[in-house]
């Protein structure tokens, strides 16, 4: 094991393996304390109902309100003094300008790369959210990105901050239920299973559910992994675009409870940290394969049959064969020859958006409205709500 810090990249000291091992024992103490206080005040037979209130409303009903939750919302909403509001706004505009490319990167790279994290993916498998309803989880993630990237969403009192804090409390509530639910068998040392197990198991050797390394790893799938996908697909952008987008996501990371020393501020730093965490955490697991199978099935469901051959090839194009093999994606095929043409087209379109403000505004308007319409259609007009699965909430 590497016991010394990795070389600093661009002024950012990538944590050593020992340091990251310690971060796996830390999750989100403020949110965990608030949720523990919340559940300590209620009857044991009602956590599912209270969970619903917890993740849907900033203001809880009077019978469920506890000081710890109010204090959490007050303190977690505070802005750090380094925030540049203009940079945040430009980062949100960058998302809007390339919104369709952002969601392609989410689907074909961010999500499947996180499924290859053999320890971190176990909590997704345990809660069953992606295996039982892939579309709902994708809608939630897409809506979250739309909400935090809307103009003014990350200003004090903005809808984006509200959504982020709800996600934080949802993660903390899942941790509380995994730690307290009698259906979950807790063991000390178990490698991520290569076959699906019939019961619910959590191993201490995986770290805490939603620990700091996994949390910043997820943060990297929305930043560093997205930029790598843009590069692989011919999307053009400027250094200023990435600097502003990273600044926006640093603010998101702050409100998500990521330790500040784990959050890089440059592309090089983010890439270096991603390589380190991927080296440590990506490995085959039955849970990762199950998540990927559900994602692939969802793609086939929404794409015309004629497009099915290109789907696994697209995943492999962005992930690389090593990661794709870990999550048992089907092999690539002749459709790989399409990508040079697609890349040239993306380069032309995104170059125009980057160079011409009017084109950028039109692209953002069309892209956001198309995504809004697609999400509305996929959820049949209902905004997705965060929910805990039945087998963890019915106690």
Position 40 in a domain: yes
Residue 319 has pLDDT above 80, yes or no: yes
Q: Report how many domains make up the chain.
A: 1
Q: In the structure encoding, which two tokens stand for residue 246, read together?
A: 């990273």
pLDDT score of 67: 86
pLDDT score of 111: 93
Average pLDDT (39-63) is 62
Position 3 in a domain: no
What is the percent of the chain with per-residue pLDDT over 90, rounded to a whole number?
53
Q: How confident is the model at residue 57 (pLDDT cuts 50, 70, 90)?
A: low
pLDDT score of 139: 77
Residue 10 has pLDDT above 70, yes or no: no
pLDDT score of 166: 87
The number of beta carbons lying within 10 Å of the beta carbon of residue 358 is 9
- Specify the long-range contacts of residues 225-228, CB closer than 8 Å, at least 24 apart: 225/105, 225/109, 225/110, 225/113, 225/274, 226/102, 226/105, 226/106, 226/109, 226/110, 227/267, 227/270, 227/271, 228/109, 228/271, 228/318
Position 172 in a domain: yes
What's the mean pLDDT when you consider all of the chain?
A: 83
Position 358 in a domain: yes
Contact 108, 318 (CB under 8 A): yes
Position 1 in a domain: no
The pLDDT tens digits of the residues spanning 156-196 come to 999 999 889 989 998 998 899 899 888 889 999 999 999 88
Position 357 in a domain: yes
Position 131 in a domain: yes
The pLDDT tens digits of the residues spanning 224-240 come to 999 999 999 999 999 99
Position 73 in a domain: yes
pLDDT score of 395: 40
Q: How confident is the model at residue 132 (pLDDT cuts 50, 70, 90)?
A: low
Residue 377 has pLDDT above 70, yes or no: no
Residue 253 has pLDDT above 70, yes or no: yes
Helix (H) or strand (E) holding 61: none
pLDDT score of 125: 78
Domain extent for 55: 9-393
Euclidean distance between CA atoms 180 and 32, whole angstroms: 13
């Amino acid at each position: 094991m590497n016991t010394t810090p990795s070389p600093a990249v661009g002024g950012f000291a990538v944590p050593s393996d020992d340091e990251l091992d310690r971060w796996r024992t830390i999750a989100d103490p403020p949110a965990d304390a608030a949720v523990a206080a919340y559940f300590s005040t209620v009857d044991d037979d009602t956590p599912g109902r209270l969970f619903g209130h917890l993740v849907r409303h900033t203001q809880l009903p009077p019978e469920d309100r506890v000081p710890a939750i109010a204090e959490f919302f007050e303190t977690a909403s505070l802005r750090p003094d380094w925030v540049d509001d203009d940079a945040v706004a430009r980062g949100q505009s960058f998302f809007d300008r390339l919104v369709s490319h952002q969601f392609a990167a989410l689907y074909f790279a961010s999500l499947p790369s996180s499924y290859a994290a053999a320890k971190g993916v176990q909590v997704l498998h345990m809660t069953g959210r992606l295996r039982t309803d892939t579309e709902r989880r994708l809608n939630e993630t897409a809506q979250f990105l739309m909400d935090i990237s809307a103009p003014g969403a990350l200003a004090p009192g903005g809808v984006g901050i509200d959504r982020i804090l709800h996600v934080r409390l949802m993660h903390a509530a899942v941790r509380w239920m995994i730690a307290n639910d009698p259906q979950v068998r807790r063991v000390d040392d178990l490698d991520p299973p290569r076959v699906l197990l019939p019961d619910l198991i959590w191993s201490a050797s995986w770290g805490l559910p939603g620990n700091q390394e996994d949390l910043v790893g997820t943060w990297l799938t929305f930043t560093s992994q997205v930029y790598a996908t843009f590069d692989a697909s011919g999307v053009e952008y400027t250094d200023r675009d990435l600097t502003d987008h990273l600044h926006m996501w640093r603010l998101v990371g702050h409100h998500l409870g990521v330790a500040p020393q784990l959050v890089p501020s440059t592309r090089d730093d983010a890439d270096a940290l991603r390589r380190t965490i991927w080296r440590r955490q990506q490995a085959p697991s039955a849970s990762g394969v199950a998540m990927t199978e559900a994602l692939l099935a969802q793609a086939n469901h929404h794409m015309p049959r004629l497009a099915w051959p290109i789907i696994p090839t697209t995943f492999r194009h962005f992930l690389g064969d090593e990661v794709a093999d870990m999550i048992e994606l089907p092999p690539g095929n002749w459709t790989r020859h399409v990508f040079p043409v697609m890349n040239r087209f993306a380069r032309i379109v995104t170059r125009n958006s980057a160079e011409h403000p009017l084109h950028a505004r039109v692209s953002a308007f069309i892209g956001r409205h198309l995504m809004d319409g697609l999400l509305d259609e996929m959820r049949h007009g209902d905004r997705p709500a965060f929910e805990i699965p039945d087998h963890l909430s019915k106690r």
